[in-house]
Amino acid sequence: MRICEILQKEKIIPSMNSETKTDLINELIDILKDDERVINLESMRESVHEREKIMSTGVGKGFAIPHAKSNSVNDIIAAFGKVDLPVDFQALDGQPVNLIFLLVGKENLVGPHIKLLSRISRMMNKEEFRESLLKAKTADEIFELFDTEEKQYFDIT
């Protein structure tokens, strides 16, 4: 499963308005409200916030990947957002976050969920890729960056 198979252009926010970690996560969840893969938006929201309480998903280098497994979705879904003014996410490196990738997967899709988390993390570890995302102005540009990077990095055609 590819990132660009689950991340739709309409689920990308090139300039998020929220100023707190909780609000950023909620802003990303809210754009999934009309997604047919979502069975119960509020239950999904609760799963993501519960996971965040266990340990911050701010992994460092200005990037966070809030995620959860939940039967409130019937597949794996994603949303991505970029924040103009970095927000404290209690990241592991103590640095604020300005790139956020939300990933929620159905509980029985553990394998694909973990593979996607790993793929996203490896891509986001590349400074050049993060900088390109920060410069992108539109959802189309951001989507194309993910698509190109995924094809190059993982040799997908």
pTM here is 0.94
Cβ atoms of 129 and 123 within 8 Å: the answer is yes
Written as one letter, the residue type at 137 is K
CA dihedral (37, 39, 40, 44) positive or negative: negative
Which among 67, 66, 75, 65 has a CA at the least distance from the CA of 108? 75
Q: Which residue has the tokens 């890729």?
A: 129
| Residue ranges of domains in the chain | 3-154
Would strands 97-105 and 76-87 be described as parallel, antiparallel, or unpaired? antiparallel
Helices 127-135 and 110-124 pack at an angle, to 10 degrees, of: 90
Task: Report whether CATH 3.40.930.10 matches the domain 3-154.
Answer: yes
- pLDDT tens-digit readout, 95-140: 999 999 999 999 888 888 898 888 899 999 999 999 999 999 999 9
- pLDDT tens-digit readout, 56-89: 889 899 999 999 999 999 999 999 999 989 999 9
